[in-house]
Structure 1
Amino acid sequence: MALKFSKLAATALMLLSVALPTTAGALDDAQKKEFGAFIKEYLIANPEIMLDVQDALEQKQRDARLQQASMAVKENKDALFSSSHDIALGNPNGDVTIVEFFDYNCGYCKRALSDMEDILAKDKNVRFVLKEFPILGPESAAAHKVSDAFRKIAPEKYGDFHRALLGAQGRADEGSALEVAESLGVSEEQIRKMMAESPNDASVKETYQLATSLGITGTPSYIVGDEAVFGAIGAEAIGQKLANVRSCGQTTC
């Protein structure tokens, strides 16, 4: 049986070598039928090949997504790393910048909060940009509106606000965000006044446009160097990418 299918594989490869340089019309109906039968019989006998094909397809898609994101990073550097809508924690003059797209109701973002804290505690030369990306419904949108207003009123306390709201139990909404703001000395009246005078529409629009360009569809997502990192990969993995950027200018040396 193995010999039979080895012959089938050889035949299929031979036919491919003949057919690929030409058009499908170069084969008559009988040849097409025989060729298809060979392939079908071989795949049925060796279905594990389909797993290899699936893996190859997924890797190709990942590579294409990363390439798209890398180009988008280069084309949108100012909006990513220096937007007036964002605040950077850590060292404002750090030699490497991390950008995180997050939603206050993202469970993975909540767990990844400790990754940011770990990185900032161990590396005093990192600039960590927080890019608010409310994608998880109306409650998230409302919480981020309060967050944006708080940032404009008390930028020096934004890090504390971010840690408190993202680290809290339960879903974030306007009410819980206002509670955090008031605990840090900014009243509801101040927040509502700022939301009316300076809504976060431009900020959200910019972030959504960036996410689309980068192929970001979920949170957390990061930009490290010229690479988009999708998902919470952990402080150690991000730290290695930072080390590589410093060593060779890229996240992979």
Structure 2
Amino acid sequence: MPEFRHPVPHPSRRTWRLARHLLLGLSLAATSLPARAQTAPQTAMVTGSFSPEQRAEIVAIVRQALKTDPSILTDAITTLRASAQQKDDADAGAALQANRGALTGQTGDAILGNPAGNVTLVEFYDPRCPYCRKVLPTLDTLIGSDRQVRVVEKLIPILGPNSVIDAEAIQAAALQGKYKPLQQALMGDSGAPGLDRIRTLASAVGIDVPRLLQDMKSPAVSSVLNRNVELARTLHLTGTPTFIIGDQTIPGAVELADLRQAVAAQRAH
């Protein structure tokens, strides 16, 4: 015997439109995407224009749709995430173009390698970041093997007070022409962080320690570090180290072969 069901009234176009918004609202509730804040008022505005009976009908449609095919919600979340990622990528690309001048080197930036090199690689790093420490010898090898690479260093102390104090010391050492020696000493040392450690390592590499400690709190140092952190935010960077070469952003402790490939591609561009 055939199974009979109670006939379901055919919903109006307006009803289906609201159902779609409700599905979107449900998918947004399951994710933390920024689009949630933008969509919620729109959903509320649409639901407010329907009667309680119509809203009840739409909720029933949504529930039945999710029971029948739960993948609807998964697909909606996947689509929203992909859309948000595309927007983030577009925003990051636009920010990269708008801040191109800042990436070629600013006052206070250390330039490693050949200052007149034909390819510029920018590194945003935190001196306490273990991945930044891991990639340090990789950069040295790249610079030593390719005499036409210039590396622009952007210190961004984002991992807490110890990062700040180390970054201040390295940036202050640059005022004495000792950026690289103190960077290598601090980032290669496993001792407890603090001013005593900085004094010991700075003295060992021939730095005027009293001047260093004074310069660490100077506007010349703090302005550079603040500027670098703000630039990293503007470029939508999410961690350290992050490398930028041309229009390409490379996050993480990248391998030497990948850096060489990026440099070759930029040189051929």
The answer for the alignment partner of 2:21 in structure 1 is: none
- Give 1:36 deviation, angstroms: 4.1
1:223 paired residue among 240, 244, 250: 244
CA contact (8 A) 2:92 2:236 kept: yes
The one-letter amino acid paired with 1:158 is: Y
Matched ranges for 1:2-13 at <5 A: none
What CA distance in whole angstroms lies between the structure 1 residues aligned with 2:268 and 2:50? 55
Distance in structure 2 (CA, Å) of the matches to 1:19 and 1:213: 37
Once residues 137 and 83 of structure 2 are traced to their aligned partners in structure 1, the CA distance between those partners, rounded to angstroms, is 32
Instruction: Identify the residue that residue 223 of structure 2 maps to in structure 1.
Output: 202
Q: Structure 1 residue 97: deviation in Å?
A: 1.3
Aligned to 2:187: 166
TM-aligned CA distance change 1:180 to 1:69, over 3 Å: farther
Write the distance in 1 (CA, Å) between the matches of 2:191 and 2:69: 49
CA distance in 2, matches of 1:143, 1:188: 14
Distance 2:179 2:137 in 1: 17
- Size of the aligned set, in residue pairs, is 235
**1:102-124, Cα deviation, whole Å (9 max, x unpaired):** 11111222223244234334433
Aligned twin of 1:79: 102
**Does residue 148 of structure 1 match 2:177?**
no
Q: Which residue of 1 aligns with 2:117?
A: 94
Aligned pair partner of 1:43 in 66, 71, 75: 66
Give a deviation string over 1:198-247, Cα, whole Å, max 9, x none. Answer: 64121122112212211234322222213444444444444443333233
1:151 deviates by 0.7
- Relative to structure 1, the CA distance from residue 114 to residue 29 in structure 2 (aligned partners, 3 Å threshold; closer, same or farther) is farther
Match of 1:251 in 2: none
Contact 1:97 1:127 in 2 (8 A): yes
Native 8 Å contact 2:215 2:221 kept in 1: no
Q: TM-score w.r.t. structure 2 length?
A: 0.71
After superposition, what is the alpha-carbon deviation per residue over 1:121-143, rounded to whole angstroms, capped at 9, x for unaligned? Answer: 44332211111111222222112
Give, in angstroms, the shift of residue 158 of structure 1: 2.3
The one-letter code sitting in structure 2 at the alignment partner of 1:110 is: R
Aligned to 1:8: none
Question: Does residue 79 of structure 2 align to residue 56 of structure 1?
Answer: yes
Q: For 1:94, give the aligned amino acid.
A: G
Q: Structure 2 matches for 1:60-71, cutoff 5 A?
A: 60-71=83-94
Cα distance change, pair 194–28 in 1 and its aligned pair in 2 (3 A): closer
SS in structure 2 of the partner of residue 200 of structure 1: helix
- RMSD after superposition: 3.5
Percent identity among equivalent residues? Answer: 28
Partners of 1:170 and 1:52 in 2: CA distance:
50
Going from structure 1 to structure 2, the CA distance change for 1:145 and 1:46 (only over 3 Å counts) comes to same
Q: Please name the residue that 1:7 is paired with.
A: none
For structure 1, list consecutive stretches of 5 or more residues without a partner in the other structure: 1-10, 249-253
Q: Is the 8 A contact 2:168 2:217 kept in 1?
A: no
How much does 1:15 deviate?
5.8
Distance (whole Å) between structure 2 residues aligned to residue 195 and residue 78 of structure 1: 26
Q: Distance between the aligned counterparts of 1:51 and 1:100, measured in 2?
A: 37
SS in structure 1 at match of 2:175: helix
Structure 2, gaps ≥5 residues long: 1-9, 19-44
CA distance in 2, matches of 1:28, 1:139: 59
TM-score (norm. length: structure 1)? 0.74
Instruction: Give the AA of the match of 2:169.
Output: V
Query: 1:66·1:227 contact (CA, 8 Å) conserved in 2?
Result: no
Offset at residue 91 of structure 1 (A): 2.0
Q: For residues 26-57 of structure 1, what are the alpha-carbon distances to aligned partners after superposition, in whole Å with 9 as ceiling and x for unaligned?
A: 97766654454344333344434544443433
1:5 corresponds to: none
Residue range with higher mean Cα deviation, 119-128 or 75-84: 119-128
